[in-house]
Amino acid sequence: MTRYVKMINGVEVEMTPEEIATRQAEENAEPPPEPLNVRLDAVFITLPLEARAQFYEKKAAVKLALEQGDVEAAQAIINGASVPSELEAVRQSLLQLFA
């Protein structure tokens, strides 16, 4: 049986059942998902150089919107971007990250 203790002023003290439950929940919790901007960057970096160069301005606008917590605006920026037909699938994959 695992013994749960905490240190108080350098002395080991047994944890209460509530503290043990909290610690176990923290230990078993799944890590938070990657932030949306990190997931978008992972897709963006896979684009060909010409496409990345063309869309850096839009990428900066999306990043700023996400930093401000405006997910709807970030999605609208991507949705409203005019892209060559060969990049439409990439744009759709970016939009799916918002779902």
CA distance 5 to 61: 49
CA 26 to chain CA mean position, Å: 20
Whether pTM > 0.85 for this model: the answer is no
CA atoms within 13 A on the CB side of 71: 10
Q: What is the DSSP letter of 44?
A: H
Write down the H helix ranges in 29-87: 36-44, 49-67, 71-80
User: Tens digits of per-residue pLDDT, 75-89?
Assistant: 999 888 877 777 788
Kindly list the distances between the CA atom of residue 99 and the CA atoms of 19, 75, 89, 95, in Å, as whole numbers in the listed order: 36, 10, 16, 7
Instruction: Work out the pLDDT band at 1, boundaries 50, 70, 90.
Output: low
- 45: its two tokens: 């970096």
CA distance 60 to 68: 12
User: Tens digits of per-residue pLDDT, 5-60?
Assistant: 899 998 999 999 899 898 888 888 888 778 888 888 888 888 888 878 877 888 88
Instruction: Work out the pLDDT band at 2, boundaries 50, 70, 90.
Output: confident
pLDDT at 73 exceeding the cut of 90: yes
- CB count within 10 Å of CB 41 equals 15
Instruction: Work out the pLDDT band at 72, boundaries 50, 70, 90.
Output: very high
| Main-chain dihedrals φ then ψ at residue 80, nearest 5 degrees | -85, -5
Instruction: Work out the pLDDT band at 65, boundaries 50, 70, 90.
Output: very high
